[in-house]
Amino acid sequence: MALTQLTQISPLQTSTDKRGYDYDLVIVGGGIVGLTLASALKNSGLNILLIEAKVASAAVAKGQAYAIHMLSALIYQGIGVWDKILPQIAKYCQVRLSDADYPDVVEFQTSDLGTPELGYVAEHQALLQPLQEFVQNCPNVTYFCPAEVVKTQYQQDMVAIDIKIAEQIYTVRSKLLVAADGSRSPIRQAAGIKTHGWKYWQSCIVAFVKPEKPHNNTAYERFWTSGPFAILPLPGNRCRIVWTAPHAEAKALCALDDEQFLAELTRRYGNQMGKLELLGDRFIFPVQLMQSDRYVLPRLALIGDAAHNCHPVGGQGLNLGIRDAAALAQVLQKAHETGEDIGKIQTLKRYERWRKSENLTILGFTDLLDRMFSNNFLPFVLARRLGLWFLQRVPLLKMFMLKLMIGLKGRTPELAKLDIIPIRNS
């Protein structure tokens, strides 16, 4: 069904089956992760409702950019939407990893992996728009936007969901509710699922810049004692800056005028690309680590930021959510094909066992990186620089780290066909 506007929504659009369900699956959150799950279930035979609180135009206008790892690209290829995404994004063919001014730089090249590129960088709309258009052509998906979930009632064989649309309340019944509604997930909170983690002492500044010289499809991750500093290449010879610093320092940097901010940026960026031009506004947000105690309950599953958050170092966050969506889609489709109830806890536990431990590994990895590099403690300084020295010179270690960074060290969803690209085995 096409993207539904308020004036077109009516309770008659739901088609209750003989067992009393309006839908097999209701997804709350029409962002990238929620859309990925709906798209991955296009041919599943499941009747799906997707609910998004923001109007589509407002969601698309969100000014963010993300590193898209190789596994995420393979998932989108498997879904059938990658050809629409690829022309709008940039690829990176080299990653340069360094510790402040320490001269030993770790370089990851396409030759290390045996692929044409190492990954991609996409602005928010470059992912969201193709996914929205793809879902419009999924006959098994109804998309309510804007609409808001105001109440959920979990029962033994279904969940009843009250949806507010244009000041009216409609109730739909579903076998399963999936929360893809962000780190402050109202669905997770209403279900009483607790989370553990912490807020970092750092905030993250993001901005777009245009360098004087070509970026040559190179991504940089430079660790300063105040926090990681990343440069991601974008189309049109633009770059996305992801700059982590202690809260007070980050606020002070954002308070600078453009000329002063660019001077500080250049000091950390280096002069390898010449003069920098600031494009648009810069934004600041706090950084946190969070892991939900549970990813599933009877009739409920959490995916993406509703289930976990990690430090932005390495650009892991969105990619974990994309893998969640692909994994849950695989579990639900197989259960449906064999006649299992997709909302039963026994079914949903397969997804939790798959993704919770893998996500925890990445959360721990990003936390260790940030803590090891964001300090001046001499033993840590010596250890991390020795680690970089080994990483550059030991091929097996380098390959392991590269595959971990791009998502190829865990269980691969069936959607992501690894034979599409010739990844070197080692």
Residue 150 placed within a domain: yes
4-62 pLDDT per residue, tens = 433 233 333 444 444 557 999 999 999 999 999 999 999 999 999 999 988 655 555 55
Domain containing 154: what range?
Answer: 3-88+123-196+289-375
Predicted pLDDT at 58: 57
Residue 168 placed within a domain: yes
Predicted pLDDT at 423: 53
Residue 177 placed within a domain: yes
Count of structural domains, the chain: 1
- Provide the pLDDT confidence category of residue 2 given band limits of 50, 70 and 90: very low
Residue 102 placed within a domain: no
222-279 pLDDT per residue, tens = 999 999 999 999 999 999 999 999 999 999 999 999 999 999 999 888 888 889 999 9
Maximal CA-CA distance, the chain: 69
Residue 64 placed within a domain: yes
* DSSP code of residue 102: -
**Residue 307's domain is classified under what CATH number?**
3.50.50.60
Predicted pLDDT at 215: 94
67-96 pLDDT per residue, tens = 999 999 999 999 999 999 999 999 999 999
* DSSP code of residue 137: T
Task: Tell me the whole-structure pTM to 2 decimals.
Answer: 0.92
152-175 pLDDT per residue, tens = 999 999 999 999 998 899 999 999
Decide: helix, strand or coil at residue 88.
helix
Length of the chain: 426
Residue 141 placed within a domain: yes
Total H helices, total E strands in the chain = 13, 20
Residue carrying the six token digits 């077109």: 8
331-361 pLDDT per residue, tens = 999 999 999 999 999 999 999 999 999 999 9
Percent of the chain with pLDDT over 70: 91
**Taking a C-beta distance cutoff of 8 angstroms, is the pair 312, 306 a contact?**
no
90-132 pLDDT per residue, tens = 999 999 999 988 888 999 999 988 889 999 999 999 999 999 9
396-421 pLDDT per residue, tens = 999 999 998 888 888 999 999 765 55
* Selected residue with higher pLDDT from 216 and 59: 216
Decide: helix, strand or coil at residue 143.
strand
Indicate the helix (H) or strand (E) that contains 400.
helix 395-405
Predicted pLDDT at 63: 64
Residue 205 placed within a domain: no
Predicted pLDDT at 407: 87
- Spatial separation of the C-alpha atoms in residues 263 and 388, rounded to whole Å: 28
